Amino acid sequence: MMGGMAGLEGVEQPRQRSSASAVRLTTALEDEQGLSAMELYGNPADDEVTLPSLPQSAHEARRLTRYVVVRLWGLSPQIAEHSVLLVSELVGNAVRHTGARSFGLRMLRRRGWIRVELRDPSRGLPCLMPVHDLDTTGRGLFLVDKLSDRWGADLLPRGKITWFEMRVADRQNA
């Protein structure tokens, strides 16, 4: 009984499936969803796009962000993952705390940096609160603070822009 499992000689064993095809399908679906969101709302890397202040808008903002970061800017999946998470947190705060009907999403890139801005009509500034181990809410700005290199809020005559910035390695230089 060398090299086989007792009692299973000659029985074909199931092979591990490659996850490469699943990754390709997921990427293709994300690209399709990102393009659909761009057609519906516009490109936040070209100009501010307006989304309704609804919980489901976080999903659309994540799609737009992932598409811009990965497909248009060619940045790493990790930068995309962090950007998507932070956009989701900013959208959640805008939807929950501002009472606005809509908010604006804008994405900017300069050499070595990306900046994501969320504009809403409230002049109430976001506040970073202490987070405790058993807290089930209130971690949004904590995550923004930990995963971004800089963040803040700029008051406007009517409302504010809450933003975060992340350092990125341009692929040409990486």
pTM (two decimals):
0.79
Nearest to 82 by CA among 9, 165, 19, 10: 165
Nearest to 114 by CA among 90, 79, 162, 142: 79
d(CA 158, CA 132): 34
The torsion region of residue 112 among left (phi > 0), alpha (psi -120 to 50) and beta comes to: left
Pair 84, 54: CB distance under 8 Å: no
* DSSP bridge pairs for 164: 116, 151
Q: What is the reported pLDDT for 19?
A: 54
SS3 80: helix
Q: CB neighbours of 67 closer than 8 A, spacing ≥ 6? A: 30, 31, 34, 35, 37, 38
Here the tokens at position 59 are 């999903």
Domains, the chain, ordered by start = 23-129+140-167 (3.30.565.10)
d(CA 93, CA 4): 58
Mean pLDDT by 10 residues, the chain (174 residues): 52 53 66 92 98 95 96 95 96 90 97 97 85 64 91 96 93 46
Q: CB neighbours of 116 closer than 8 A, spacing ≥ 6? A: 65, 83, 86, 87, 90, 105, 106, 107, 108, 163, 164, 165
pLDDT digits (tens, 9 = 90+) for 77-87: 999 999 999 99
